[in-house]
Amino acid sequence: MSVGPEGVRTVHAHADLRMGWAGYGSYAESSRVFALPSPDKAGRCAIVLVERGARTPEDVDRLRALLDSRLPRA
């Protein structure tokens, strides 16, 4: 999984899935994860980014800065 200026991308052997920032309504952060729910009021879909997946604490800071620039905090 990767996160960049265009959105979130997940690649595995059978699929290459991309979701632009418009596919997420906001984001929330806990002590362990970032949660990005869909923009619909029911929040029927969400993606969870686990902080331990980052290589360094600085990567978590960069992710937070990217999310802040693209989505409102919930």
Q: Mean pLDDT, to the nearest integer, of 26-47?
A: 90
Domain limits, the chain: 24-74
Give strand pairing partners of 49.
Answer: 34
Q: How far apart are CA 10 and CA 42, in angstroms?
A: 24
Task: List phi, psi (to 5°) of 50.
Answer: -85, 125
Q: What is the pTM of this model?
A: 0.88
Residue 55 pLDDT level (bands cut at 50, 70, 90): very high
Over residues 31-37, the mean pLDDT reads: 96
Residue type, position 73, single letter: R
60: Cβ–Cβ under 8 A, 6 or more apart, which residues?
51, 54
